[in-house]
């Protein structure tokens, strides 16, 4: 049986058949113009992955690549039912929520340990292949009475993924990267084939479609942590699309590039859960992905038309990073815009 449509093909097909989610052409142009003003700035640059985010590794070595692998293996489902009541992790004097609470917990574990050992080797496959549930609960403990969501799933996935990394790649994700011969697509497919928890695939209108959100962000974060050089010099990084999570749709609606039907908006405002693979959930993810592809095309046209001299590569990965960070920085402005609640291990 041939594989599912690629994420880009899936998104195009979904956008053409969507009933409750729509892309607004004027909004797409306005977002492209917002991004055009940043095209020579520090944000739309590969270096911002380290420069703007203190929890990301500074190094570009094997340990940093394995840090990226374990965080992206657990990079899912941080939202809480009540925004003011959520998992928080304090680290080096700052408090982190959401995705950053995961990174803070990983770095806290590496710094501390079961006395007197130097630290909990949470990024080592030989450790997390057999880590116990109670150790995982300790490592990812929250400073509030709200635990990190899906902690049992996180434990199961750590054991499963660690065992496979040991069996197939001598315990290091850098070996998996090297097997991909500097192709982002080869790496994405090798990850999806090797690690079951990355298989973000579902159905829409009778077709098998894929988003591969965590596999794509893993490739992107590997490219970023290796600074686009050496083993991370992916010649086809521009073929990676935005990552279909629950934050990007929210910020695209906030910016006017995406619109929901009245019925769907009412459902989201009530905080109703959508299941993974539901028609409306797939439409939100697929239309968001296609929307960012159209924004990128529009931005590249603007750069061409206005003759903006920019040597650097503008791709969907950098647009995604920028929009995701924008959503983080404008949380208050986006208060009235609901995001969809799906509890799953894929995003």
Q: Please confirm, yes or no, whether 245 is among the known catalytic residues.
A: yes
For 158, which DSSP code? Answer: H
Q: 180 or 224: whose CB is closer to ligand 56B? A: 224
Contacts of 134 (CB under 8 A, 6+ apart): none
Among 11, 109, 120, 248, binds ligand 56B (CB under 6 A): 248
* 296 touches ligand 56B (CB under 6 A): no
- To the nearest whole angstrom, how small is the minimum distance from the Cβ of residue 236 to ligand 56B? 19
Which residue, 10, 43, 72, 1, is CA-closest to 225? 72
Question: What is the C-alpha to C-alpha distance for residues 347 and 341, in angstroms, rounded to an integer?
Answer: 11
Residue with tokens 């098998």: 208
Give, as ranges, the residues between 84 and 123 that touch ligand 56B (CB under 6 A): 98-99
Other Cβ atoms closer than 10 A to 186: 16
Catalytic member of 245, 297, 325, 333: 245
Site stretch for ligand 56B (CB under 6 A), options 48-56, 117-125, 129-137, 268-276: 48-56
Full DSSP string of 303-336: HHHTT----SPP-HHHHHHHHHHHHHHTTTTTTT
Q: 155 or 213: whose CB is closer to ligand 56B? A: 213
How far from 213 is each of 42, 73, 74, CA to CA, in Å?
25, 11, 12
* 281 touches ligand 56B (CB under 6 A): no
* 322 touches ligand 56B (CB under 6 A): no
* 53 touches ligand 56B (CB under 6 A): yes
Among 36, 69, 76, 223, binds ligand 56B (CB under 6 A): 76
Binding residues (CB under 6 A) for ligand 56B: these are 49, 53, 56, 75-76, 78-79, 98-99, 217, 221, 242-243, 245-248, 320-321, 324-325, 347
């Amino acid at each position: 049986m041939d594989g599912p449509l690629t994420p880009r093909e899936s998104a195009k097909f979904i956008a053409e058949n969507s009933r409750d989610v729509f892309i607004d052409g004027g909004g797409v142009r306005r977002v492209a113009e917002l991004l055009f003003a940043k095209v020579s700035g520090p944000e739309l640059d590969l270096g911002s992955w380290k420069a703007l985010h203190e929890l990301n590794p500074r190094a570009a070595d094997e340990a940093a690549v394995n840090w990226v692998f374990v965080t992206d293996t657990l990079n899912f489902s941080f939202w809480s039912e009540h925004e003011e009541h959520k998992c928080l992790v304090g680290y080096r004097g700052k408090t982190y929520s959401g995705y950053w609470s995961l990174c803070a917990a990983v770095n806290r574990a590496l710094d501390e340990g079961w006395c007197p050992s130097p630290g909990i080797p949470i990024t080592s496959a030989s450790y997390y292949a057999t880590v116990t549930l109670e150790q995982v609960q300790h490592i990812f403990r929250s400073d509030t009475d709200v635990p990190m969501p899906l902690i049992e799933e996180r434990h199961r996935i750590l054991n499963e993924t660690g065992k496979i990394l040991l069996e197939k790649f001598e315990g290091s994700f850098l070996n998996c990267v090297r097997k991909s011969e500097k192709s982002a697509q080869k790496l994405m497919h090798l990850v999806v084939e090797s690690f079951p928890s990355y298989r973000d695939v579902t159905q829409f209108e009778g077709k098998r479609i894929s988003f591969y959100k965590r596999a794509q962000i893993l490739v992107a974060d590997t490219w970023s942590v290796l600074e686009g050089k050496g083993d991370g010099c992916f010649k086809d990084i521009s073929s990676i699309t935005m990552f279909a999570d629950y934050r990007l749709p929210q910020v695209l609606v906030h910016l006017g590039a995406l619109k929901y039907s009245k019925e769907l908006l009412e459902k989201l405002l009530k905080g109703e859960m959508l299941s993974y693979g539901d028609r409306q959930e797939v439409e939100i993810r697929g239309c968001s992905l296609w929307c960012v592809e159209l924004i990128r095309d529009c931005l590249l046209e603007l750069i061409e038309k206005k003759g903006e001299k920019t040597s650097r590569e503008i791709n969907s990965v950098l647009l995604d990073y920028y929009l995701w960070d924008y959503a983080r920085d404008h949380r208050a402005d986006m208060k009235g815009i609901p995001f969809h609640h799906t509890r799953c291990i894929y995003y």
